[in-house]
Chain A
Amino acid sequence: NAGVMQNPRHLVRRRGQEARLRCSPMKGHSHVYWYRQLPEEGLKFMVYLQKENIIDESGMPKERFSAEFPKEGPSILRIQQVVRGDSAAYFCASSPQSTNTEAFFGQGTRLTVV
């Protein structure tokens, strides 16, 4: 059973470009959470999705950021018109149910905006 898969592992974008980060949850997991980790900072919750639904987006910036988890395929975190401040590690976690005791994290995507 493969773990949570994130790709790409590293992504470099110029200011103004779009970044698309992908997360394939563990088999049997239908709940996905996205986090951002800045240097010297803890994990900051961004968004929680189930298949085809956004459940909680209270941590998402109001502009330029969006997320989806389609019926088929991975969850996508999309950042439009990236700025230097978007440079961070982005992690997703998945769980079989909406519970914090069974979530597993992927290895993250490290986004660098130049």
Chain B
Amino acid sequence: QQQVKQSPQSLIVQKGGISIINCAYENTAFDYFPWYQQFPGKGPALLIAIRPDVSEKKEGRFTISFNKSAKQFSLHIMDSQPGDSATYFCAAGHYGGSQGNLIFGKGTKLSVKP
């Protein structure tokens, strides 16, 4: 009950297109779902996060969609840009809980072609 499954493993999108990354979790008690962005040679950085009380959260070109019944959430990057090329990790855990208790997906390597 502690896995977070992320897909696809890699993704190539043309500039201006929509990038979609999906994650599925198992533990129904989880109530915090962050996404992290990691550029090569850098540490992960919190990008956007959602809680189950809303089905969608948007920040600029980044949107999280959340489906509680399906235990799935996804990251959509609108108008994808070459600068968005990075590895994206989803995670799941308890809101306000220990950072150490977040369960991370294996990551999606996104390449945006000019």
Binding site for B on A (CB under 8 A): 4, 6, 31, 33, 40-45, 47-48, 55-56, 59, 91, 93, 95, 98-101, 103-108
- Residue in B closest to A59 when the chains form the complex, CB atoms: B100
A91 to B89, CA, bound (A): 14
Are the CB atoms of A101 and B49 closer together than 8 Å? yes
Q: Known: A105-B43, A106-B43, A107-B41. Is A100-B99 also a contact (CB below 8 A)? A: yes
A31 to B102, CA, bound (A): 15
- Residue in A closest to B97 when the chains form the complex, CB atoms: A100
Could you say which residues of chain A place their CB within 8 Å of the CB of B97?
A: 99-100
B45 within 8 A of A: yes
Most chain-B Cβ atoms within 10 A of its Cβ — which of A48, A56, A105?
A: A105
A79 to B110, CA, bound (A): 32
24 contacts between A and B (CB under 8 A): A4-B43, A6-B43, A33-B99, A33-B100, A40-B9, A42-B89, A43-B44, A43-B89, A45-B100, A48-B99, A56-B98, A56-B100, A91-B43, A98-B99, A99-B96, A99-B99, A100-B93, A100-B99, A100-B102, A101-B49, A104-B45, A104-B46, A105-B45, A107-B42
Binding site for A on B (CB under 8 A): 4, 6, 9, 32, 34, 41-46, 49, 89, 93-102, 104-107
9 new A-B contacts, CB < 8 A, other than A33-B98, A41-B107, A106-B43, are A6-B43, A33-B100, A41-B106, A43-B104, A45-B101, A47-B100, A98-B98, A100-B34, A100-B98
